Every structure is written in C-alpha cells, then in structure tokens.
Amino acid sequence: MDLKTYLSSRRTIPSAHLSGPGPDQQQCNDILTLASRTPDHGKLAPWRFILVTGTERQALSDFCVARQKAIAQDEGRTLTEAEIDKTATTFTKAPLIVVLVSTAVEHPKIPLWEQELAAGAVGMNLLHASNALGFSAQWLSAWMAYDPKVCAKLGLTGTERIAGFFHIGTPQEGPVERARPDVSDITTHWST
C-alpha cells in the first residue's frame, strides 16, 4: 500500500477487538525506535516508554479497580458491576501496552508546550509503526492516565505525565469508518 493510500484509510481498531499475537521483543523494539523518529525541538527526547505485558496487564488492571473503588468511596458512591468489569479488563485485551510518558521539564529555550507536542508526535508514530509491522494500536487515556496513584504505581516521578496507553495487538475485526473534519471548515487563508 502506498503512503497516501495508507494515510487516507488508516483507522484505530478499539482495544476490545485486539488480541494476540502481539509484537515480539524485536518487533516491539522496532515499533519504539520508529515511533521515536519524531520531530523534537532541541533534541531533548522528552518522552519515555513503559511496557506492560503478560500477567502485569492484569496486575495493572487490578490496581486500577482498587483505585476506582477508593475514589468512588471518597465520593460516597458504589461502583456498578459493569464499571468494575470494564476496569478489570482494561489492560488485558491487547498483548502489549506501551505507556507513553511525557518527561517534559522547564528548559531555558524549548517551551514545555513544544516538548509535549513532541511526545504527542511520538504517540501518532506509535500508531503508524504498529501498523507498519502488521499490528494495530489504540491510543487511550481514560481516568487512569490522570490518577496520581496510578502514575506513581507505574513509576512516574516529578512532572512526568502519561501521554497515553497504547494497546497494541492483532485486530479481530476490521475498522469502521469514522467522521473526519472537513478541512474547508477549519482552514482559512490569512491575508493582510
């Protein structure tokens, strides 16, 4: 498939429809290497990856269930079975979860915003690289990405932030088209 055809047909397949096989160690390394080939002002590489595989996916899901219960208790409400089930299986479908972490810190020349944009570009490249190796990936955040205790459990420190959980595996279903913006609605010609 040529690049234009790929870009005009590429779509995310939901993580619920991803399963094994996932990337082996070499393929995973290739995906992360391709994803890191990203525009990056100042060559700061303000991102890092955390891999969650095997039984650790269930362990992370279980930790999130415990957190969700604690948060609900603080709010004086009880979780439904459906809410618990959803979280308990969040990380268990796709065989590989790549946690993309923004490691942006204040810099004398490169604004934080630009560092965070670079991490975002790595995120898009993670989707492309996964596709290039014959897999599929979904970029998810959900509440877990913003929960300080989940972040600490994953080993984030200081001002590090989760840019996304990338669920990578083999699709069990084809993509469904999704509405896209009409660029004429969002494009103007600047004139003096």
Ligand X SMILES: Cc1cc2nc3c(=O)[nH]c(=O)nc-3n(C[C@H](O)[C@H](O)[C@H](O)COP(=O)(O)O)c2cc1C
Q: Residue 15 interacts with ligand X (CB under 6 A)?
A: no
Smallest gap from Cβ 91 to ligand X, in A, equals 13
Smallest gap from Cβ 58 to ligand X, in A, equals 19
- In 3D space, the residue among 35, 16, 17, 19 whose CA is nearest the CA of residue 27 turns out to be 35
Q: Residue 63 interacts with ligand X (CB under 6 A)?
A: no
> CB under 6 A: which stretch of 19-27, 41-49, 81-89, 135-143 binds ligand X?
135-143
Structure tokens of 55? 């039984």
Q: Residue 140 interacts with ligand X (CB under 6 A)?
A: yes
DSSP-assigned letter for residue 184: G
Do the bridges between strand 96-102 and strand 136-140 make them parallel or antiparallel, or are there none, so unpaired?
Answer: unpaired
d(CA 115, CA 20): 33
- In 3D space, the residue among 82, 78, 122, 83 whose CA is nearest the CA of residue 99 turns out to be 122
Q: Residue 139 interacts with ligand X (CB under 6 A)?
A: yes
What percent helix, strand, coil does the chain show, rounded to 5? 45, 15, 40
Among 138, 147, 162, 166, interactor with ligand X by CB under 6 A: 138
Smallest gap from Cβ 109 to ligand X, in A, equals 26
Among 133, 142, 153, 161, interactor with ligand X by CB under 6 A: 142
Binding site for ligand X (CB under 6 A): 11-12, 138-142, 164, 178
